[in-house]
Structure 1
């Protein structure tokens, strides 16, 4: 089932472009996340241990690996196709784990031999229900050393509808100036992937793992709701350290 490097490179490059439609100032957000991890691990003895939650095709893991070459990165996702793209195109960036985030026992599959210094995620946790998200935050807090951090870059809307409307406008205008909407969208990317015979087996496996009944994605939780869940999960402090529109980088300290 292994992919050729050329195939993985082609689809990861297209993924990178289509994701620019959805994450305002995506590259800057990656840089901010790396800044935080570098800062938190600067004075900590030993090799930093970082888990990338919902890693997809390895976009964040690859950037963290380049920025922090001494770190050990464990990247986890449930999607077999995206994981295979990551394993092939970003083979040296991380150790990749196939697991369902938030499900009972998923953290045991990570094979960690010491407490985490950091957990990171980007544009991934919003698909979890509030109950699954709270469970995931608690599970990650239990794995983390005192002073470790959880860093989540995602769409975190404001509670106030008028402020949320203005923030959405700011994000869209920024994306328009960056010509982000010129790239293919999520649905188009997956439609194109389905035409590549080299990916047929991975797509079939992906379909087999999908629930037999369609489920509606939960409405995204607000920044304030995330902060509340993080504190309930055992993080002492939590708050946003970067924002553009409704795109935030949220940091929680164990």
Structure 2
């Protein structure tokens, strides 16, 4: 049974601030993702899969944009899933599944989706697993459905400028941490571990991820486009770019 979290909105706000320290244009990328969903949806309510959805960031924004959408959120982190459940209630199906294993689709309530959306979440998967996951996602999409993955995806043609952009972003982020403007990733989790409701879930998380996620792996956007093409999508491209980040889109 999912524990009751009375202050879920406050935790969502805190999560947003922590994430925005890394991703100042975070809301812009979400809007672009949902614009793509709007472009391919038909008269029926869109059926959306929020992949590695964490606290429900994408799901919450999708339901504001498309109130009648059928939303499924998948993640493995028990603390983040509890926050998603508290925030989304019965407006979304919340599923615990491990994307690192090929049987994860068996846990889903549907076998076909109009769109699969994910952001800043799949960089912890190794290359071979992510390439396979792209093919698994294709099989879940209806013809004409799409996948959007927004993540750290540098531009191959701008290696030196990308280094400078990342260095400047780190300087700004460090200054914000020092001023107490936002919590860092580790500070956010330390705060969650002190909350009486979230504490046991954070402890469960530490069992699932004893050394944290795998080291971040950030191939250039061209790698993703090639992997999506190899996975059998008929259209692939870059939907959005901001600095060293991008959102790739693939249409079945």
1:11 maps to what in 2? 11
Q: Residues 88-167 of structure 1: matches in 2 within 5 Å?
A: 88-113=86-111, 115-160=112-157, 161-167=159-165
Give the whole-Å Cα distance in 2 for the aligned partners of 1:210 and 1:170: 30
Q: 1: CA distance between counterparts of 2:51 and 2:203?
A: 23
Q: Residues of 2 paired with 1:174 and 1:69: CA distance?
A: 36
Cα separation, partners in 2 of 1:228 and 1:181, compared to 1, 3 Å: farther
Q: Matched residues in 2 for 1:71 and 1:210: separation?
A: 32
Q: Which residue of 2 aligns with 1:186?
A: 185
Q: Does 1:250 align with 2:248?
A: yes
Aligned length, in residue pairs:
250
Name the CA shift for 1:172/1:207 in 2 (closer, same or farther; >3 Å): closer
Shift of 1:5: 3.9
Q: Tell me which residue corresponds to 1:198.
A: 197
Distance 2:153 2:61 in 1: 22
Q: Hey, what's the Cα distance between the residues in 1 that align with 2:180 and 2:39? A: 33
- 1:130 and 1:8 map into 2 onto residues whose CA distance is 34
Task: Please state how far the C-alpha of 1:202 moved relative to its aligned partner.
Answer: 1.1
Assess, with a 3 A threshold, how the Cα gap between structure 1 residues 106 and 92 changes in structure 2: closer, same or farther. Answer: same
CA deviations over 1:113-168 (Å, ceiling 9, x no partner): 5x221100011111111111011101000111121110111111223421422443
Q: Name the stretch that deviates more: 243-252 or 62-71.
A: 243-252
Alignment-derived partner of residue 31 in structure 1: 31
Following the alignment from structure 1 to structure 2, what is the Cα–Cα distance between the partners of residues 181 and 156? 29
Could you tell me how far apart the structure 1 residues matched to 2:90 and 2:34 are? 18
1:59 is aligned to: 57
Q: Structure 2 CA distance, aligned partners of 1:67 and 1:215?
A: 31
Of the three residues 217, 225, 228, the one matched with 1:227 is 225
Residue in 2 aligned with 1:47?
A: 45
Cα contact 2:53–2:59 (8 A) shared by 1? yes
Preserved contact between residue 239 and residue 252 of structure 1 (Cα < 8 Å): yes
TM (norm. structure 1) is 0.89
* Deviation of the 1:184 alpha carbon: 0.9
Matches of 1:181 and 1:48, distance apart in 2: 40
Higher relative contact order (CA 8 A, sep 6+): 1
Gapped runs of 5+ residues in structure 1?
Answer: none
Distance of aligned partners of 1:123 and 1:181 in 2 relative to their CA distance in 1, 3 Å threshold? farther
Structure 2 length normalisation: TM-score?
0.89
**2-structure distance, mates of 1:88, 1:214:** 24
Structure 2: which 5+ residue stretches go unaligned? Answer: none
